[in-house]
A and B are shown apart, each in its own frame.
Chain A
């Protein structure tokens, strides 16, 4: 059963990779000559820039908020998670609107300083730099979360030993705290880079040529599934080599705690100008990543109040909730199947199946969509051919899979099952295996043990897994865009389409709805974060290094 689940991820990947051997009718040759170098450079610079920015912002905020206490530090701790609620593409739309020539910021500057067009230089959001800033500030919470857990788990005495051996507070951070947190930070940075590689909406809007936008254009513009698959293979190869590099880099770098976990480091209190500076430094990413885009969207929604088509919004929201809800329930059930199978049977098949199912998160949405379109399309055609051969005069069944929401639902499972798996697994990990043994020795079957012992005990993890999958589905743009049935628009698709037509005012309510739903897991995560030991356990699970 677990093996069947893993096929959802494995099949699209195999189909994408097999496209290397197929003939794309000249599309590949055309791409290789004209666009390939641009895609490679664009993807690499975007990933590098976002990775560096998100890592430095996340680590700096995490260190300030664990080592020091200053005015507002408690609030700022959980607020660091807010930018996760704003998907990169929505942040890009809102920030562009805020900072463009006709936007409020430049308008205000011109009015205050008496400038007119051409008198001044102002950064352009719709550029590579703009995309890096937008994505960096929307993805840094991954690094923040991992770094904070790592810093919290460091024994105070190790940092104090650094002080008595002649390093100041900053020296202690650079030479001890940061190197010790490196595995966790590197894992989170890799996640950020993979999210960046998978990003479609932001790169598309900021006109950065990346593999993800290329895959979409090849499929949509050139109508070539094979060409898009071949392009996807390049991206997939890059992602896989990153994963291998990270695993190799981690080998032998798994530090063992040499100190018993004695005491947590106690915070130094920063008052006066230093405290104010620290508070500003921690507030800046929240402002750029959440307050500014979300605030602009709310303002736009109110300003364009008359133009909104509320019935349409409700319809789109209903579809988003339907897709998200179905996917969440299915993902949690599948995750329970996979994780429980692995718990009661540690055979190779189950272990490999769990690993494959988990790797779906690393596969960019457009790549997965292309793989699914190719494989499900093939099944659809086979069904139609079979039906034609069986009863030539009857009506054809049509595109049962690719023409219905089945395809998009499969796509979500392939991509987000990993999220459910991580949460469900951390729940199961907290159930003592002796309890399984006890239940079994009392005559309970494995299934009954699951229903009576495990599921009630891991309710919170199941719920959290469902919420995380739900939100990821609601936010997901490229897979929805490519796999949805004709004219089946969701909130994300609607926002994308309106924003592409420069109708941001109209897009605002739908974007706000996505941000609002995106704030659900923030509440969950902030609850987890409030207990450090659990946060550490979660982050270890989250780093997915226990293969």
Chain B
């Protein structure tokens, strides 16, 4: 793939008319559209419980949508005819609780996803990624010996190790204290843009979303709009309301 990202044709991540509800509950996500191109960052805003994390889980393949399609690099990974399991989607996820493997060293955590990389070069690649997140020399440490900020950066390095096309970040800075947050965020976003991945960042902090992202998706306003639209199925919401939710805060 060449670097002509100036003329994005098909988005790296495309979601159309996505609907989801947990088995007994009401719809959590209704008729959602979004698209993210390579090198772009989309921030998803909203209060807790409005379906932010669920959206990431749907994109990662950890939940099955009720209807709608999800495409990664133009290839459908989830629609009415098929469902690609998470291990075959090449989507990197940084979980809210980071989810580092407690029984593996830092290097082996990072190497975990490198199944395509030849065995011999894995270790070198892990060291490169550690250098990228500013933690050279931490290869043989165990996760529990690291600080919250360090663990967070390891989780990012691990998510990038498999060379994903899409990276999903679930409140990745919540473990960091206020002072550190800004610098880590700026640096991380810069790395993700350089790597040319499409990023979806979930946060409840509007300032954070606005400073980090190219575009915003506010699920709160959406869900309010939805509530007045009635309790019927997914197809009630008119497309105008949907378009209004995607606010361009920064032009490419």
**CB contact between A180 and one of B93, B103, B143, B159 (< 8 Å): that residue:** B103
Q: For the complex, what is the distance from the CA of A36 to the CA of B102, rounded to whole Å? A: 44
Is B103 touching A167 in the complex (CB atoms < 8 A)? no
Question: Is B60 in the interface zone, CB < 8 Å from A?
Answer: yes
Is A258 touching B93 in the complex (CB atoms < 8 A)? no
Q: Answer whether A179 and B97 are a contact pair too, CB < 8 Å, given A163-B87, A164-B86.
A: no
| Residues in chain A near residue B85, CB distance under 8 A | 163, 168
Question: Which A residues, 153 to 197, have Cβ-Cβ distances below 8 Å to chain B?
Answer: 155, 157-158, 160-168, 171, 175-176, 179-180, 182
Question: Is B62 in the interface zone, CB < 8 Å from A?
Answer: yes
Q: For the complex, what is the distance from the CA of A163 to the CA of B143, rounded to whole Å? A: 19
**CB contact between B97 and one of A155, A162, A255 (< 8 Å): that residue:** A155
**Digit string of B85-105 for contact with A (CB within 8 Å is 1, else 0)?**
111110111011111111110
Is B102 touching A180 in the complex (CB atoms < 8 A)? yes
Question: Could you say which of A171, A175, A253 has the most chain B C-beta atoms within 10 Å of its C-beta?
Answer: A175
Question: Is B119 in the interface zone, CB < 8 Å from A?
Answer: no
**Digit string of B32-52 for contact with A (CB within 8 Å is 1, else 0)?**
000000000000000000000
CB distance from B73 to the nearest CB of A (A): 16
**CB contact between B95 and one of A161, A175, A253 (< 8 Å): that residue:** A161
| Residues in chain B near residue A259, CB distance under 8 A | 95, 97-100, 102
Q: Answer whether A258 and B143 are a contact pair too, CB < 8 Å, given A180-B102, A182-B103.
A: yes
| Residues in chain A near residue B162, CB distance under 8 A | 165-166
Tell me how many residue pairs across A and B have CB atoms closer than 8 Å: 90
Question: Is A260 in the interface zone, CB < 8 Å from B?
Answer: yes
| Residues in chain B near residue A262, CB distance under 8 A | 96-97
**Digit string of B139-167 for contact with A (CB within 8 Å is 1, else 0)?**
00001100000010000001101100000
Is A157 touching B112 in the complex (CB atoms < 8 A)? no
Interface residues on chain B, number (Cβ under 8 Å):
31
CB distance from B49 to the nearest CB of A (A): 14
Question: Is A257 in the interface zone, CB < 8 Å from B?
Answer: yes
Q: Answer whether A165 and B143 are a contact pair too, CB < 8 Å, given A259-B99, A259-B100.
A: no
| Residues in chain B near residue A155, CB distance under 8 A | 97, 99
Question: Is A547 in the interface zone, CB < 8 Å from B?
Answer: no
Question: Could you say which of A166, A168, A260, A262 has the most chain B C-beta atoms within 10 Å of its C-beta?
Answer: A166
Is B87 touching A258 in the complex (CB atoms < 8 A)? no
Question: Is A256 in the interface zone, CB < 8 Å from B?
Answer: yes
By beta carbon, the residue of chain B nearest A261 is B97
| Residues in chain A near residue B88, CB distance under 8 A | 166
Which secondary structure dominates chain B's binding surface?
loop
| Residues in chain B near residue A165, CB distance under 8 A | 87, 112-113, 158, 161-162
Question: Could you say which of B101, B115, B162 has the most chain A C-beta atoms within 10 Å of its C-beta?
Answer: B101
| Residues in chain B near residue A253, CB distance under 8 A | 103
Q: Answer whether A166 and B87 are a contact pair too, CB < 8 Å, given A176-B101, A180-B102, A258-B102.
A: yes
| Residues in chain A near residue B158, CB distance under 8 A | 161, 165
Is A160 touching B103 in the complex (CB atoms < 8 A)? no
Question: Which B residues, 148 to 197, have Cβ-Cβ distances below 8 Å to chain A?
Answer: 151, 158-159, 161-162
| Residues in chain B near residue A164, CB distance under 8 A | 60-62, 86-87, 89, 91-93, 113, 159
Is A160 touching B86 in the complex (CB atoms < 8 A)? yes
Question: Could you say which of B93, B102, B159 has the most chain A C-beta atoms within 10 Å of its C-beta?
Answer: B102
Is B103 touching A255 in the complex (CB atoms < 8 A)? yes
Q: For the complex, what is the distance from the CA of A157 to the CA of B56, rounded to whole Å? A: 13
Q: Sort A-B residue pairs by CB-CB distance and give the 10 closest, nearest first.
A: A165-B113, A256-B144, A157-B99, A259-B97, A163-B86, A161-B99, A255-B102, A157-B95, A164-B93, A258-B143
13 contacts between A and B (CB under 8 A): A155-B99, A158-B99, A163-B62, A164-B89, A164-B91, A164-B93, A164-B113, A167-B87, A176-B103, A179-B103, A255-B103, A258-B98, A258-B144
Known: A166-B87, A258-B99. 14 other contacts (CB 8 A): A157-B97, A158-B99, A158-B102, A161-B93, A161-B158, A165-B87, A168-B85, A168-B87, A182-B103, A253-B103, A255-B102, A259-B95, A259-B97, A259-B99
Show the binding face of B for A, using Cβ within 8 Å: 60-62, 85-89, 91-93, 95-104, 112-113, 115, 143-144, 151, 158-159, 161-162
